[in-house]
Chains A and B, each alone.
Chain A
Amino acid sequence: MTELADQPVLRERPDRPAPRRPARRVPTPVLLIAPSLIFMTALFVWPTVVAVGQAFTGDDGPTAAYVRRMVDDPSFWPAVRYTALLIVVLIPIQFAFALTMALLLRERPRFAGVYFYLWVVPLAISDLAAGLVWLSIFTDRGYLNSVLDHLGVAGYSWLQFDHPVTMFLAVMVAELWRATSLVLVIVVAGLQGIPKDYDEAAAVFGATYWQRLRHVLLPQLRPSLQVAVILRTILALQTFAVAQALTGRNLPLLVGETYRWYNALLNPNVAAALALVVLGVSLLAAAGYLRLLREHPEARG
């Protein structure tokens, strides 16, 4: 083998090293992934370590002072409550909505292409923009009250600080509008992976639409749905700019509080502690995600 390297190589440059030197260098794929690995370690792992330091060390050694300040803040528990409420109420509605949309598209109505396009546009709309879009509707002299006025109904201050229910509803509608498209594409992609045969076979055997949905389609869609649930949970935890745009900080959410501690109160330590709370909950969701992948490797996509 060794003499091959010395062979005259036609006219072309010997741009290939002699095959299989016994002393192997770093394997090519490792070289190829190394930059991304270094980059992500530097920007994911390192900041996480720094965050722990920020949250738990004061001027003189370890301290729980920042954590205590965080918990003692009057907005903390409302923020936890609203964030949890948002997840618990929004996500089921969102999934029902997305499933309905996907099943409607599966009926192949006319203009399905146009519908799909319009329904997924929010994929690329930022949460801040979504908040501003709905602000034009819900604000006191906005479009909703204008319509009500045209109808002869008195307007309502939807976003006023002492109307928490409508404030929360406004945030929820805006999130439903913005973030359902993500669930939709996951479900549509999942549906595409399901051969029509099963569905048709079930129909041949006399199953009604609802029976087919319940016993044929949904079970096969389960991996996609589970993945979407976890992803949406992690993202919903981070809801922030929508509420900011609609309500200022009248409706406290966890990430919004982090922003306030950092930006308005200039206390990065408490902000870091809050960020770690968000991280903790996200990691719980991610752990569920990983377990899911182990059970359904096909869900990785």
Chain B
Amino acid sequence: MAEVVVRNLVKTYAASAHRATDDVSLEVADGEFVVLVGPSGCGKTTLLRMVAGLETPDSGTVHIGGRDVTGLPARQRRVSMVFQSYAIFPHMRVRQNIGFGLAMRKVDRQELERRVQRAAELLQLEDYLDRFPAQLSGGQRQRVAVARAIVVDADVLLMDEPLSNLDALLRLQFRTELKKLVRQLGTTTLYVTHDQAEAMSLGDRVAVMRDGRIAQIGTPLAVYDRPDEQFVGGFLGAPPMNFFPAQVRLRGADPQLVVGEDTWPAPAHLKAYADRSVLVGVRAENIQVTADPPAAGPGAQPGWSAAVVEVVEPTGAAVLLTVRLDTHQLKVQAPPGFPARPDDTVWLRSAPEMLRFFDPETSLALVTT
């Protein structure tokens, strides 16, 4: 077991002009499960490969368990890895594939057999040990790749989108199994995915990457709930966070938001932004919606705004509405069976503490103290 400390890693590929990773720093505590998530091409794989020793950084350092491994080849870093393509060896049987790392490290035969057997049991591969990879299904190959990675008892387990080649149902199933397995092993894990749901469900902490940098890192809930920038809110969650511009107005001592023609109550800390425009972020499930006109008629009860329904998508557990509020499109999560049809008018509001605010210029979260 060991912690991973990455400092100021910069990498520019020979063929390209921009930095694949741009001064990335990251710490993964001993036994922690950190997920790197971000859109395709943001540098996740590059970062992982530099930790693995498959790519040499232009500058910056990697420490594993207190040891500076920046210049060490992969085989001396005591890491293990699951590749996106699985990269299992087609000319070896499952048994030899799983035992490859142990054989390379000259573990004695009996010990090797025992550990391969145990790993195979953990991943339900006992019946396939003497098959060749070509005789396995995609899901089974993926298990072989995981078994090969866990059997070596590495200090750090690296995984690059290990589930992305599976179909949706298997992916969900393996996600759960993988989480259980890694919990049992307690190995420090760095896991790459572009799937935000996978990131949220697996990680002790989630690092959201964008353009070669880490935009935000924190527990899944913290990152989901309090995004540091608009990009993070827009990337995590299905549907992603809603954004719309609003004006901050003071009414007496209390700040208010002017959204189109309506006013919404705002949290007290927005006072500092009086008479400025802000970008409001709110999650679909944090918007209250009602089909009946609020008791005293529109406008009488402050905070309810009328919106026009455009699309209704029942998802079973809820009804997802796409509505137009003023000129902005919002996704709103209504309770199941919510009676709405396209072109209906519905009323929306949100508790002030559920609203997030961003600077419209920089897209960064407003400092709220």
Contacts and interface: CB of A to CB of B under 8 A. Distances in A.
Interface string A1-12: 100110101101
Interface in B51-100: 56, 68, 70-73, 75-76
A7 B71 CA distance: 9
Given A19-B56, A20-B56, A1 B76 contact: no
B192 to A, nearest CB: 23
Interface string A225-266: 000000000000000000000000000000000000000000
A9 B76 contact: yes
A4 B70 contact: yes
A165 interface: no
A10 B64 CA distance: 14
Interface in A1-46: 1, 4-5, 7, 9-10, 12, 16, 18-20
Which of B56, B72, B75 has the largest number of chain A CB atoms within 10 A? Answer: B72
Contacts of B76: 9-10, 12
Nearest to A5: B71
Contacts of A5: 71
A10 B71 CA distance: 12
Contacts of A10: 76
A20 B71 CA distance: 10
B328 to A, nearest CB: 44
A208 B162 CA distance: 47
B62 to A, nearest CB: 12
Contact of A1 (B71, B72, B73, B75): B71
A189 B311 CA distance: 51
Contacts of A4: 70-71
Nearest to B70: A4
Contacts of B70: 1, 4
Contacts of A20: 56
Contacts of B73: 16
A127 to B, nearest CB: 39
Contacts of B72: 7, 9
A4 B53 CA distance: 14
A19 B71 CA distance: 7
A20 B57 CA distance: 10
Which of B68, B70, B71, B75 has the largest number of chain A CB atoms within 10 A? Answer: B71
Nearest to A11: B76
Contacts of B68: 7
A5 B72 CA distance: 9
Which of B56, B70, B73, B75 has the largest number of chain A CB atoms within 10 A? Answer: B73
Contacts of A12: 75-76
A217 B218 CA distance: 57
A1 B72 CA distance: 11
A5 B68 CA distance: 12
B49 to A, nearest CB: 14
A219 B76 CA distance: 54
Interface string A186-223: 00000000000000000000000000000000000000
Contacts of B75: 12
A12 B78 CA distance: 14
Nearest to A1: B71
A20 B70 CA distance: 12
A221 B68 CA distance: 56
Contacts of A16: 73
Contacts of A7: 68, 71-72
Nearest to A6: B71
Nearest to B58: A20
Which of A1, A9, A12, A20 has the largest number of chain B CB atoms within 10 A? Answer: A1
Contacts of A9: 72, 76
B158 to A, nearest CB: 19
Nearest to A3: B71
A27 to B, nearest CB: 11
Nearest to A20: B56
Contacts of B71: 1, 4-5, 7, 18-19
A218 to B, nearest CB: 35
A41 B72 CA distance: 40
A7 B70 CA distance: 11
A56 to B, nearest CB: 46
B349 to A, nearest CB: 53
Contacts of A19: 56, 71
Nearest to A4: B71
Interface string A108-150: 0000000000000000000000000000000000000000000
B105 to A, nearest CB: 11
Nearest to A15: B73
A10 B241 CA distance: 49
A10 to B, nearest CB: 5
Nearest to A10: B76
A9 B73 CA distance: 10
Contacts of B56: 19-20
A13 to B, nearest CB: 11
Interface string B105-121: 00000000000000000
Contacts of A18: 71
A30 to B, nearest CB: 15
Nearest to A16: B73
A9 B53 CA distance: 14
A10 B73 CA distance: 11
A211 B5 CA distance: 66
A177 B75 CA distance: 56
Contacts of A1: 70-71
Interface of B: 56, 68, 70-73, 75-76
Interface of A: 1, 4-5, 7, 9-10, 12, 16, 18-20
8 contacts: A1-B70, A1-B71, A4-B70, A4-B71, A7-B68, A9-B72, A16-B73, A20-B56
Given A1-B71, A9-B76, 9 more contacts: A1-B70, A5-B71, A7-B71, A9-B72, A10-B76, A16-B73, A19-B56, A19-B71, A20-B56
The 8 A-B residue pairs with the shortest CB-CB distance in the complex, in nearest-first order: A4-B71, A19-B56, A10-B76, A19-B71, A16-B73, A20-B56, A4-B70, A7-B71
